[in-house]
Amino acid sequence: MTTDVLRQFARRPPPPGERCELCGEPLPAEHRHLVDTRLRSLKCVCPSCHLLLDRPGAGGGRFRAVPARYLVDPAFQLDEQDRARLQIPVGLAFFFRNSALDRLCAFYPSPAGATESELDPRTWDEVLGRTRLTALLEPDVEALLVQRADGAGPGLCALVPVDVCYELVGRMRLHWKGFDGGSEARADLAAFFERVRAAARPLGPGDTP
């Protein structure tokens, strides 16, 4: 993702005159996204275009509508051994299944942007395979957002729309100051994760791939 794309995901109204990247209609303040699987990028779209492409096979396979599903697995926690194996340097990571590569890809959000991990994907499968959320992931458009538990609060393993993860990256880039982020960044990230927790429903026995 480029810096310009990442900046879209700080939750704020679109600039006056911003339009759907497919049909050109004006965008509402809260709008949805498509994944362009060919360019590996996100597009801002109006409700009509999102609905039109939110069907299997729509868009010729190139464009996929980002869903609004949030699921959380309360039983899954990363322990210190898991963190060491996954090499998560900042206690945060997100994972999505890249359909072109047919494997999980891992990224670490940071003030410098989203850094892709070079870890053997089999390690991610072994650790994250313990939660059913991994099998439920829709390729390209959904991600596992993992936050390690620490003294400030509980950990999190949630299935979220992939644009939410890039919103997180955008927030870190916009607000982070100094070594520890500063009080504004910490408060903003705390509010972000509270919103994710509030939106997510617990994984149930009826949730199957």
Contact indicator for 9, 1 with CB cutoff of 8 Å: no
Residues of the chain scoring pLDDT < 70 = 1-17, 57, 59-60, 89, 150-154
Residue 177 exposed, middle or buried by CB count within 10 Å (0-12, 13-18, 19+): exposed
Beta-carbon neighbour count of residue 174 at 10 Å?
Answer: 16
DSSP state of 119: S
Distance CA 192, CA 178 (A): 20
pLDDT score of 148: 77
Residues 91-123 pLDDT 10s: 788 999 888 888 888 888 877 888 888 778 788
- The alpha carbon torsion through 102, 167, 163, 134 (nearest 10 deg) reads 50
Question: Which residues neighbour 20 within 8 Å (Cβ) at sequence distance 6 or greater?
Answer: 26, 27, 31, 44, 45, 46, 49
pLDDT of residue 152: 55
Return d(Cα 166, Cα 41) in angstroms, integer.
Answer: 11
pLDDT on residue 23 = 92
Q: What is the pLDDT of residue 43?
A: 92
Query: Full-prediction pTM beyond 0.85?
Result: no
pLDDT for the residue numbered 151: 56
